[in-house]
């Protein structure tokens, strides 16, 4: 029957609560980064010859397609590809687990960037040549005096900067800050008591007074 409630005012049909808003923000940022990274790499592979340069803003911003077997920005060399793959998978698993305690919007964006960047490069490790878990990551953005990188790499670096800023401000993963006393619990309002009014005796009539005197 509709409208029937169980004891305590709870409905008989329990509704599953939606995921927390900040977890949805984390996953949304991560999904956006992954889509942008995958699409941009596919365009780079299709339209840019390997090791050729396309000058967009002189020598300040160039496009060049390279394949990276190392870590982000081609660090670590190709001999550690499987190790970097395992590290990326561990980072993804840790972020998904830590998201349960997420209470800060800043950390939601930070972990979303890190999750998206790690997953974007992990996709290359899994599906690209030369083999499963040993695939080369596609890099295609080049700046002066800086290793060639991709969208995933830039999001990982941005997440690192945000981690430093949030840590300097003392913002924890759950949104709290050290040294601040928790808010005192709110007490339910007590019903106001009606003040008692002293009653004064009514004055006696003249007839009553004369009767008392006889």
Residues with a known catalytic role: 139, 153
Assess contact for 198 and 189: CB atoms under 8 A.
no
Residues constituting the chain = 214
Burial of 132 (0-12, 13-18, 19+ CB in 10 A): exposed
Q: Are 99 and 111 in contact (CB under 8 A)?
A: yes
Six token digits for residue 192: 């106001």
Q: Are 162 and 91 in contact (CB under 8 A)?
A: no
Please check whether residue 122 is in contact with residue 83, taking contact to mean a CB–CB distance below 8 angstroms. no
């Amino acid at each position: 029957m509709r409208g029937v409630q169980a004891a305590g005012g709870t409905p008989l049909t329990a509704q599953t609560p939606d995921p927390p808003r900040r977890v949805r923000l984390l996953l949304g940022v991560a999904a956006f980064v992954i889509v942008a990274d995958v699409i941009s790499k596919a365009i780079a592979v299709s339209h840019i010859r390997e090791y050729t340069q396309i000058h967009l803003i002189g020598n300040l911003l160039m496009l060049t397609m390279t394949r990276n077997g190392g870590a982000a920005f081609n660090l670590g060399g190709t001999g550690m590809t499987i190790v970097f793959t395992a590290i990326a998978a561990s980072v993804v698993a840790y972020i998904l687990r830590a998201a349960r305690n997420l209470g800060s919007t800043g950390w939601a964006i930070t972990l979303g960037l890190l999750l998206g960047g790690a997953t974007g490069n992990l996709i290359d490790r899994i599906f690209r040549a030369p083999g499963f878990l040993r695939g080369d990551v596609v890099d295609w953005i080049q700046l002066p005096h800086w290793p060639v990188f991709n969208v995933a790499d830039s999001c990982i670096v941005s997440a690192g900067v945000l981690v430093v800023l949030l840590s300097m401000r003392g913002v924890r993963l759950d949104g709290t800050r050290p040294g601040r006393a928790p808010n005192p619990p709110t007490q339910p309002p007590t019903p106001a008591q009606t003040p008692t009014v002293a009653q004064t005796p009514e004055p006696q009539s003249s007839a009553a007074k004369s009767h008392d005197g006889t």
